[in-house]
């Protein structure tokens, strides 16, 4: 499972848990809180009415006195109130009074006078000097029909409890307020949940994108590709820079180790030739042999110097990750300079250089020096393999997929087994007519320059004999 999905799922679990807790708190706290507030109001109302009913109750006219008339008149009153958006026209109160035995002596609803209420908690507890209240269903089969009853004692002149006044109010009277609160909490909860999920998706996408960039960078580095540190933000940017620093240090260490090993291997052959020739020169020799051994030492010394120079040039290219300051490069002029650089070697080898296929209008963005050296290396390689009296063709072409700089010769071509290895460091093929092998660094340098410019180096056999070596640059490099 990808890290972005894990983060999103974890975030969703947290948000869902928060939403569940919010709903649970509403059910367990808000609803009871509203009912507790109503009970508090009923308790005040019951005690006020108990004080107002005391005189009529003690005088024995509680059912037909002024108190009873006023309470019954409440049912006919049009309250016409708008309470928090809800219209209220009539009172929801029911008031009843019981005597010291718990027998109903007054009922504002006019239905239970004479009934024994002594076992109901509101009456039972109040008659015993305690706070009396109860919540009872008016319809046993309907859980929403509960009615809250709160009682207050009626005391005689001696302070003894002579009766009980109870005020009852259906819990359904506050249901619209609770329902509206539920809807508001649900609506805004969904908005909050949706917003939180959107933020979670964006955060997970952002984090996944940052990690993905670093992952692709690490994979590219592992594959040996030239890549820049990805643009990341915050701690991811610091991590990217740390990875790049680590890569540079590790690559530098490995690069030196590889080069020391490779250089040691490649220097053995010319050093052995120089050492053998020097040992032979220590003894008396004919002049012809002495001159031949001196020439061998000089040739091997030149080979060593050339190998070191090319190694240094190759190392400078391989260690670079990008062209820091690319500039427009006119390839026709660059080819002229490369040709001038190798004309002496071409003349000595009896090879002609033809530039008929060079498009003078092609310009690319890149490093002039590196591209010129790469083309010169291609020419050197073609001259080594071209038969005496043949022509080496140089061409620069613009195509649909980019620009191609190529050098073609009429030599023996490339064996099939070597096609995939010619750009490896120190890999070289024997020259025609017994010529000595090259350092095997020229084509490797060409490949590195091509990659540094976002392209590739290609070597293939030519129709009619010979080989074609070229540098392909992408369209993005051309202007």
pLDDT digits (tens, 9 = 90+) for 330-385: 888 988 888 888 888 888 888 899 888 888 888 888 888 778 878 888 888 888 88
Shared domain for 290 and 254, answered yes or no, is yes
Shared domain for 311 and 346, answered yes or no, is no
Shared domain for 359 and 443, answered yes or no, is yes
> What separation in angstroms does the CA of 280 have from each of 218, 300, 322?
55, 15, 50
Shared domain for 352 and 472, answered yes or no, is yes
Shared domain for 478 and 330, answered yes or no, is yes
Domain-embedded: residue 269? yes
Shared domain for 451 and 387, answered yes or no, is yes
**Tell me, what CATH number does 379's domain have?**
3.30.565.10
Print the domain residue range for 59.
37-179
Domain-embedded: residue 12? no
Q: What is the pLDDT of residue 368?
A: 81
* pTM, two decimal places: 0.44
Shared domain for 276 and 302, answered yes or no, is yes
Q: Give the whole-angstrom CA distance, residue 158 versus residue 160.
A: 6
Shared domain for 166 and 231, answered yes or no, is no
Q: Give the whole-angstrom CA distance, residue 74 versus residue 169.
A: 14
Q: What is the pLDDT of residue 226?
A: 58
Q: What is the pLDDT of residue 310?
A: 55
Q: What is the pLDDT of residue 473?
A: 85
Shared domain for 70 and 118, answered yes or no, is yes
Shared domain for 453 and 352, answered yes or no, is yes
Number of domains into which the chain is organized: 3
Q: What is the pLDDT along the chain (479 residues), one digit of tens a residue?
A: 566 566 667 777 777 777 777 767 666 666 677 777 788 889 999 999 999 999 999 999 999 899 999 998 887 777 667 765 666 666 788 999 999 999 999 999 888 899 999 999 999 999 999 999 998 887 888 877 788 899 999 999 889 999 999 999 988 776 666 677 767 777 777 787 778 778 777 777 777 777 777 777 777 766 666 566 666 666 666 666 666 666 555 554 444 455 455 555 456 556 666 777 777 777 777 878 778 777 777 766 765 665 566 555 555 555 555 666 778 888 889 888 888 888 888 888 888 998 888 888 888 888 887 788 788 888 888 888 888 889 999 998 888 778 889 999 988 888 888 887 887 766 777 666 655 555 567 787 788 788 878 888 888 898 888 899 889 987 555 44
CA angle 18, 20, 23 (to 5 degrees): 110
For the chain, the average pLDDT equals 78
3-state secondary structure 202-251: HHHHHHHHHHHHHHHHHHHHHCCCCCCCCCCCHHHHHHHHHHHHHHHHHH
Domain-embedded: residue 142? yes
Q: What is the pLDDT of residue 479?
A: 42
End residue of a domain, out of 285, 320, 355 = 320
Shared domain for 307 and 327, answered yes or no, is no
**Tell me, what CATH number does 77's domain have?**
3.30.450.20
Nearest to 232 by CA among 210, 217, 247: 210
Shared domain for 315 and 329, answered yes or no, is no
End residue of a domain, out of 298, 320, 342 = 320
């Amino acid at each position: 499972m990808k890290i972005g999905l894990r983060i999103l799922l974890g975030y969703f679990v947290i948000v869902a848990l928060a939403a569940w807790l919010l709903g649970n708190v509403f059910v367990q706290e808000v609803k009871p809180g509203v009912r507790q507030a109503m009970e508090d109001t009923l308790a005040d109302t019951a005690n006020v009415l108990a004080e107002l009913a005391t005189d009529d109750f003690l005088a024995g006219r509680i059912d037909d006195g002024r108190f009873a008339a006023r309470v019954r008149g409440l049912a006919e009153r049009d309250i016409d109130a708008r309470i928090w958006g809800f219209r209220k026209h009539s009172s929801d109160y029911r008031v009843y009074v019981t005597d010291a035995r718990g027998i109903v002596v007054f009922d504002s609803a006019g239905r239970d006078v004479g009934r024994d209420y002594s076992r109901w908690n509101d009456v039972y507890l109040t008659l015993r000097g305690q706070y009396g209240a109860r919540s009872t269903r008016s319809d046993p089969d309907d859980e929403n029909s509960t009615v809250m009853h709160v009682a207050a004692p009626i005391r005689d002149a001696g302070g003894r409890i002579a009766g009980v006044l109870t005020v009852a109010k259906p819990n359904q009277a506050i249901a619209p307020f609770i329902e509206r609160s539920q809807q508001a909490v649900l609506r805004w909860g969904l908005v909050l949940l949706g917003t939180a999920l959107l933020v979670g998706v964006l955060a997970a996408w952002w984090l996944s994108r940052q990690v993905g960039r670093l992952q692709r960078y690490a994979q590219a580095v592992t594959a040996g590709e030239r890549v820049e540190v990805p643009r990341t933000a915050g701690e991811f940017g610091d991590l990217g820079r740390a990875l790049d620093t680590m890569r540079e240090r590790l690559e530098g260490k490995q690069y030196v180790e590889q080069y020391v090993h490779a250089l040691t291997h490649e220097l053995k052959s010319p050093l052995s030739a120089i050492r053998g020739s020097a040992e032979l020169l220590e003894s008396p020799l004919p002049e012809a042999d002495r001159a031949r051994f001196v020439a061998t030492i000089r040739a091997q010394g030149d080979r060593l110097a050339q190998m070191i120079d090319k190694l240094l040039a190759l190392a400078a290219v391989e260690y670079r990750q990008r062209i820091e300051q690319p500039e427009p490069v006119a390839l026709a002029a660059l080819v002229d300079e490369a040709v001038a650089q190798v004309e002496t070697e071409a003349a000595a080898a009896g090879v002609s250089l033809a530039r008929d296929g060079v498009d003078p209008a092609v310009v690319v963005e890149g490093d002039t020096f590196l591209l010129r050296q790469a083309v010169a290396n291609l020419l050197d390689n073609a001259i080594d393999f071209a038969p005496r009296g043949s022509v080496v063709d140089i061409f620069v072409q613009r195509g649909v997929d980019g620009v191609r700089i190529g050098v073609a010769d009429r030599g023996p071509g490339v064996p099939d087994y070597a096609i995939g290895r010619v750009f490896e460091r120190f890999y070289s093929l024997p020259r025609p007519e017994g010529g000595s092998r090259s350092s095997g660094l020229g084509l490797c340098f060409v490949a590195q320059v091509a990659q540094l410019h976002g392209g590739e180096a290609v070597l293939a056999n030519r129709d009619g004999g010979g080989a074609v070596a070229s540098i392909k640059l992408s369209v993005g490099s051309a202007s």
